[in-house]
Amino acid sequence: MLISPIISLNFGSKTWQTSYVMLFLFVLILCVFLALCSWQLSRADEKKIIVALAEKKALQPAKLIDPSRLFENRDEEQWQEVVYSRNVVKGKWVAQYHYLQDNITYDGVAGFEVLTPFQAMDGTVFLVNRGWISKRHYSSKKVLVDSNEVQTFEGVWVLPTRRFTLSDTPYPQSFPKVVQEVFHQRIAKEINHPLVPLQFRLVKQSPSSSLSTLWEPVYGSPDKHYAYALQWFIFALILIFLFIKLNLRPTL
């Protein structure tokens, strides 16, 4: 059996020794900790930019628009220009379809975000995120809408949030459908109509609505990522300290 070569440094009464294998493992784990620290810092910076953009656009007055004009001649990268813009839309609900995005928590309480297709007066169809409801207070009656009346809503355009799912589970057959992830292409096939790949998030509800629209621009604040970054940096410092301390021995 081969023995790994030893690295030895003499400091008078103390000698620091380790093997190349242990040094390699130390460097590898240290790089992982520092990479995770850097990633959390970058996530915090990304969210700070999003929050600043949302706050800036929130100060702009909402305008009544035809969504088809907003999205015409735009590719996926250009949709970023639309995100968080405040608009007023007018049209009717496609009321036979309702989707309940599962595993959405608010103040530590599990619930659903309710999404319903909406057809604007110009014919454009998009998903409206109507708000959040706790599982405890959920009932199908609370998510039904009146499809016969033309209605006007104020809201902001947001990119769908991708969440971790264990598998691409088929959607259930009955409505309202509880879904782990909202796939716009799949929903477009179900409602048999092209669907704008952004969601329109309502900023106001009728007084009688049981849905909450206390939205945050991002899920998890930038400060949370700074705390995680500090945690990984401390782990890296502890690793360095232990690697030096445990390999330092009295000189024989």
Tokens of 148: 């016969």
Could you state, in order of their start, the residue ranges of all structural domains in the chain? Answer: 6-45+223-250, 63-215
Task: Return all residues near 185 (Cβ < 8 A) that are at least 6 apart.
Answer: 195
Low-confidence ranges of the chain (pLDDT < 50): 1-2, 164, 166
Report CA-CA distances (Å) from 218 to 6, 156, 158, 227. 50, 13, 10, 16
Phi then psi for residue 35, to 5 deg, are: -65, -40
**Per-residue pLDDT, 1:** 42
Q: How many angstroms from the chain centroid is the CA of residue 184?
A: 16
**Per-residue pLDDT, 5:** 61
**Per-residue pLDDT, 2:** 47
